[in-house]
Structure formats: structure tokens, C-alpha cells
Amino acid sequence: MDPVWGQRGDATVMRKLRQAGAIMLGKTVLHEYAIGWPDAETGFPMPKNPWDLNRTAGGSSSGTAIAVAADLAIAGLGTDTGGSIRGPSAFCGLSGIKQTFGLVSKEGCVPLGYSLDHIGPMAHTVWDCAAMLQVMAGYDPNDPSTVDRPVADMFEQMDGSLAGVRIGVPTEHFFTAPGLEPEVKAGVLDAIKAMEAAGATVVEVRVRYAAEAQHALWATMGSEALAYHEPDLRSKPELYGKYTREALLVGMLYMGADFVQAQRVRSIVKTACLALFRPSLGADGDGVDVLITPSRPTVAPLLEGYDTDFLFLGTNFSGIWNVTGQPALCVPCGFSPTTGMPLSMQIVGRPFDEPTVFKVGDAYQRMTDWHLRAPKRVWEAQPA
């Protein structure tokens, strides 16, 4: 924890939510420093998925996802540096958004990756996420990464219609990646078909440099995380959990030149991704209004035998949007016929065009009830 945080009081996002009337129920547990796989020896319990207690709830914002999915809270906050809002949301059947970088203040939050971090809402419905983001968004002089611009009306386009919306489907990489489970792929494609039947236009697109973006993500995150943690890693490494310590030490493998090259790659990836979009909803041109991909390549994995290296080496459909800074919303789109676990799709938009992203997600939720389903309260039968 930042040593001066306690002297500041609430973080900016908490202060804004309280002022808007939100009632805070408490804090939830996350992965250690938002990067380390839980280690019970240092007080970070294994996150169990409310849909199946033998499976992970994902991370790093696991506690919020568990609390909301289990109806212990109507909504909550998560942080996202490479997918830590969207992963738990996907695994637990929730809606969750990583908004445009710079839209929401991070003041008061311990950083992981200074240029990648986001604080965002997690809830059952897209509408609830939009309501929270409307309050949280805005320039904060205490966070130099926030952008001084008017905050859009998150509900302005939320009319339930998909008429005129152009949806881009990047089949290459996102629907052909190794490890993508057939049930996940089928669930997302079925959702896209349903939106097309409701009036959306679906076009095939190619997201260039998706693989390179992943390398840029880890080089940036590793370097920026080390910049924050290096003094403590050198003076008191034993205070970190073994998985967290291992993850943070990876940052020492990158040189300054690697970090600089990663930023050059980020600019190339961002330019290529933004070129896929038309300037605004309804504008002329062949561009799209949103992209839709799977949120995660698999349903929530079983805890037994879980490969922690998968967190870093596995296919990641979310990290590229931290690299580019674009908004990305996860929405539940079904359940696995085999495991019964939630399926999820990711809706990606133009920078600062959250209203269009919310419009598409909300329209889909008006057609379906996946987001309204709840897990059986299996935890009540478990021993304390």
C-alpha cells in the first residue's frame, strides 16, 4: 500500500461514488499487487468461482467478481492492467468494462503499470456499469494521466437498437488462437449472429500486430511494475508472496531499450487498430463502430492442477486494448453446455466512445437473459 494513501482518505473514484450516493459495503480481496497468483502464506486466499467452487474466479479483481456474482453486492470496482476486470467478469458471468485510458482517475490506487492501469466497474448489467462510469469519469488534477475533456453521456445512445451499427469480427488471432475452446468460440459467434439478426451489420476485419501487442504489454508492465516495487524487492523480498515476487522479478529481465521499443510498438499497434473504426456511429465509410472478440479463450479453469504460467504465457484477448488504451466491455453470452460455466464476449470501441460500446452491450442484454442468471448458492452447504 502507498504509505501516504491512508493520509489522503478516499481515492478519487471512491469519493465520487460516495458523493453520488453509493453505499460502500467493504473491501474485497484481489491478487497480491494485482499480479501475483494467490499465496495463502501471505494472506491471499484462493478465489473460488461462485458458479463452481472447484474453479478459479480469475484475477486480479477476483474478490469483486465473486461478491457481485454471489449477489453480496450489486456492483463493485476492479483494476485492469492486462485484463484484470474483464477476466474475472468473464469467468463469473458479469459485465465489466476497462474504459478508455485517461477517462477515470487512478489517484489513490497502488500502480501496477503506470501507462496501462485502469479502475473500472463490474456489475451484472451493462446499465449498472454505465451508471457507475458516468460518476467515476472526469479529469483529476491529482492524476496527470487523466484527460481534461467533457465526459460523454453514457446513456445517450442506449436505446436498445442495433440498426446501423457496424460490428467488426477479427477472425484471425481472436477466433483461431491456440487454446480457444470450441464452446467459447461458438457462444461468441452465436451472439454476433443474434446481433446481426437484430439489425447490426457484421463485417470481417483484421487486427494487425495482435501478437506483437502482447509482447509490448509484458515489456511495459514488467518494467513499470518493477519501477514501483524495486526498492521493496531489494530490501524485503520475503514479504511478497512467492508468485508475486516471481512475477515482479521478471521486470529485471527487460532493459531500458526493451521498454523504449515496446512504446514504439504500442504506437504502431494503436494506429493500426484505430484505422479499423469509422469516426463516429453512423458516419460514412467502411470502418466499424465496435469489434467483438471472445473475452477469454476458455471458461474458468479448474483450481486443481491450474498452470500459473498460463497467466503470462497463455492466449490473452484483453491485453491489446490496454496497449492501445481503447474501451473494452465484457458481457456474458451464454453458458458452456459441457461445464455449465459462463461464456463471455468482449466489445471494443473507439477511444472515449463508451456510449457506443454501452449501446451495443445493452442492446444485446435486452435480447437475452444470460446476465440475469445467478449461480446456485452452493457455498452455503460448504463447511466454514
Length of the chain measured in residues:
384
pLDDT confidence band for 38 (50 / 70 / 90): confident
Split at pLDDT 50, 70, 90, the class of 73 is very high
- Kindly report the average pLDDT of the chain as a whole number: 93
- Grid cell listed for 192: 454476433
Question: What one-letter code names the amino acid at 97?
Answer: I
CB count, 10 Å around CB of 74?
15
Give the span between the Cα atoms of 64 and 75, in whole angstroms: 8
- The DSSP string of 198-267 is TT-EEEE---TTHHHHHHHHHHHHHHHHHHHHHHHHHH-GGGS-HHHHHHHHGGGG--HHHHHHHHHHHH
pLDDT digits (tens, 9 = 90+) for 150-172: 999 999 999 999 999 999 999 99
Which domains occur in the chain, in start order?
5-381 (3.90.1300.10)
- C-alpha cell, 1: 500500500
The answer to whether residue 42 scores a pLDDT higher than 90 is no
pLDDT of residue 4: 46
Grid coordinates of 345? 464476449
- The pLDDT > 90 percentage for the chain reads 87
Q: How far is CA 112 from CA 34, 59, 117, in A?
A: 7, 14, 7
| Cβ-Cβ contacts under 8 Å for 303 (sequence gap 6 or more) | 46, 48, 54, 55, 56
Q: Distance between CA atoms of 129 and 81, rounded to whole angstroms? A: 18
Give the DSSP letter of residue 356.
H
Q: Tell me: the pLDDT tens digits for 246-272?
A: 999 999 999 999 999 999 999 999 999
Could you give the C-alpha distances from 143 to 30, 135, 226, in angstroms and in order?
23, 17, 20
Lowest mean pLDDT among 19-33, 152-166, 298-312: 298-312
Provide the H-helix boundaries in 43-181.
62-69, 86-92, 126-136, 171-174
Number of Cβ atoms within 10 Å of the Cβ of 138 = 17
pLDDT computed for residue 378 by the predictor: 59
pLDDT at res. 379 = 53
Distance between CA atoms of residues 303 and 259, nearest Å:
34
> 10 Å Cβ neighbour count for 75?
21
The number of CA neighbours under 13 Å toward the Cβ of 54 is 6
